[in-house]
Amino acid sequence: MSTVATARGDGSAEPPPEEESPVAPPPGAPAQVRAPGVDGVPATRVIEQGETGPATEPSLSGATALPQVLKIIGTVVAPTTLLTALMYYFGRLETAAFLWYFLDTPVTVLDLTVQDYLNNSVDGMIPPLIAVAVAALLALWVHQLLPGALPARTRRIVLRVLMPAAAIAGFVLVSLVMADFVMGTVFLTSFPEGRGLSLSIGVLLLTYATRLWRLLIAERRPQQVSRRAPGAVAIAEWGAVFILVSVGLFWAVGSYALGVGIGRAQQFEASLRNVSDVVVYSDKRLSLQAPGVREVSCQHPDAAYRFRYEGLKLVQQAGNQYLFLPSEWTHANGEAILLPRSESLRLEFSPPGQVRNATC
C-alpha cells in the first residue's frame, strides 16, 4: 500500500491523513445503520436488543389454552352460579317426577319456590357428584403419572395402542348418541342416563385421542412442535369441547333426576302404611270421597270445626297447599287430594293406626 504526501507551500511535505480505526460499539448498543450505497455497504436494519427474528402469530397448546377457556367461562358464568343452576335443574326434575307419580299433573300446580327445588336436590346430587369427581381424579392421575414412569420406548408403544383405542371408543359412543336421535331405541330404557354420559365420555375420548396423536407427532418430528394452531383456534376447540361435555352432563343429570324422583315416590307408596296418620278438621264440608277416608260430622254446638276427616297421609306441604293420599292409595287405582292451606283447616298427627280422638 503506497503513501501519498501533499506538498505544502514552504516546501515541506504534509503527511497523509491517518485512516480512522473502527471503534467497536459498546455492549448492548444497537448495530449502526449505513445508508445504502455508501462505501459499498448494503442497507441494513437496526436490530434491537432481545429481538430474535420476524414476528410470528402467537400459538397456544392444549395445556395453555384450557386455562384460558376456563377463565373466559368463569367471567361469564361464575362457578357458584353454575352449581346453583345445576342444583335447581336437578331439584325441579326430581320433584316433578315425584309429584307426577301421585298427581299425574304438572308440578306447577303446587307453586313450589326456588328454595324448595334447591333443598330437594341436595341429597340426590351427592352420589353423581362424587362419582364424577373420583373418575376425573383417577383419569388425571393416570395421565400424569403413568407416562412419566415408563421408559421412552414403552411409552411410545403405549401411546400407539392407546390413541386408536380412545379414538374408536369415542367415535362409537358419539355415533350411538347420534343414532339414538334418529331411531330413539338405541339405549336401554332402564338406563336413560346412558345418552348424556355417552356424549360426554365420547367427546372426552376423542379429545384425548387427538392429544395423544399430537404427542406422537412431536416425538417423531420435533421440528413440527412449533407448528401449533393459533391461539384463537385452540381456545375455540376447547370451548366446543366444554360445551359438548356440559350438555351431555346436564342431559345425564336430568335423566338421573327423573329416575330418582320416581324411585322415591315408589318407596313412599311401599311404606304408606307406616306413615303417620293425619286427621283434618274443617269448618266447612270438604266432601272428600276416597277409599279409606271417613268423614265425621261434629254435632257439638261449641265445636270450632264442624267436620273431621280420617284415613289420610300427608305427602308434602308445597307452597300454600297440602298434598294428601288416602291410607289405601295405590298408583294403579288411587286419587291424590290437594287442600289449600288456610285458617279454616287444622291438622292432627298420630302414629299409624293410633288415632287419638275419635270425635270432634
Give the tens place of pLDDT for each residue, 215-271.
777 777 665 544 555 567 777 877 888 889 888 888 888 889 999 999 999 999 999
The answer to whether residues 247 and 199 touch, using CB atoms and an 8 Å cutoff, is yes
User: Do 150 and 75 share a structural domain?
Assistant: yes
For residue 132, tell me if it sits in a domain.
yes
Q: Which residues contact 231 (CB under 8 A, 6 or more apart)?
A: 58, 59, 60, 65, 68
Task: Grade residue 360 by pLDDT with cuts at 50, 70 and 90.
Answer: low
Whether residue 206 is predicted with pLDDT greater than 90 in this model: the reply is: yes
User: Do 198 and 73 share a structural domain?
Assistant: yes
In total, how many domains does the chain have? 2
What is the percent of the chain where pLDDT is above 90?
A: 11
Query: What's the pLDDT at 245?
Result: 87
User: Do 138 and 246 share a structural domain?
Assistant: yes
Q: Is the pTM of this model over 0.75?
A: no
For residue 317, tell me if it sits in a domain.
yes
| Domain-ending residue, one of 248, 270, 292 | 270
| Domain-ending residue, one of 270, 293, 327 | 270
User: Do 142 and 279 share a structural domain?
Assistant: no
Whether residue 197 is predicted with pLDDT greater than 70 in this model: the reply is: yes
User: Do 209 and 185 share a structural domain?
Assistant: yes
Per-residue pLDDT of 308-334, as tens digits, reads: 898 899 998 877 889 999 988 888 877
For residue 21, tell me if it sits in a domain.
no
For residue 251, tell me if it sits in a domain.
yes
Task: Grade residue 84 by pLDDT with cuts at 50, 70 and 90.
Answer: confident
Report, as an integer, the average pLDDT of 336-356.
84
Query: What's the pLDDT at 30?
Result: 46
Query: What's the pLDDT at 35?
Result: 42
Query: What's the pLDDT at 6?
Result: 44
The answer to whether residues 233 and 181 touch, using CB atoms and an 8 Å cutoff, is no
For residue 44, tell me if it sits in a domain.
no
User: Do 285 and 256 share a structural domain?
Assistant: no
For residue 32, tell me if it sits in a domain.
no
For residue 36, tell me if it sits in a domain.
no
User: Do 207 and 187 share a structural domain?
Assistant: yes
Q: Grid coordinates representing 208?
A: 384425548
User: Do 125 and 70 share a structural domain?
Assistant: yes
Q: How many other C-beta atoms can be found within 10 angstroms of the C-beta atom of residue 294?
A: 13
User: Do 313 and 335 share a structural domain?
Assistant: yes
User: Do 230 and 293 share a structural domain?
Assistant: no
Per-residue pLDDT of 140-180, as tens digits, reads: 887 777 666 677 777 777 778 888 898 999 999 999 999 88
User: Do 230 and 289 share a structural domain?
Assistant: no
Query: What's the pLDDT at 354?
Result: 74
Task: Grade residue 358 by pLDDT with cuts at 50, 70 and 90.
Answer: low
Hey, which residues does 326 pair with through a beta bridge? 312
Whether residue 83 is predicted with pLDDT greater than 60 in this model: the reply is: yes
| Domain-ending residue, one of 246, 270, 294 | 270
Whether residue 20 is predicted with pLDDT greater than 70 in this model: the reply is: no
For residue 357, tell me if it sits in a domain.
no
User: Do 127 and 188 share a structural domain?
Assistant: yes
Per the structure, the complete domain to which residue 281 belongs is given by 273-350
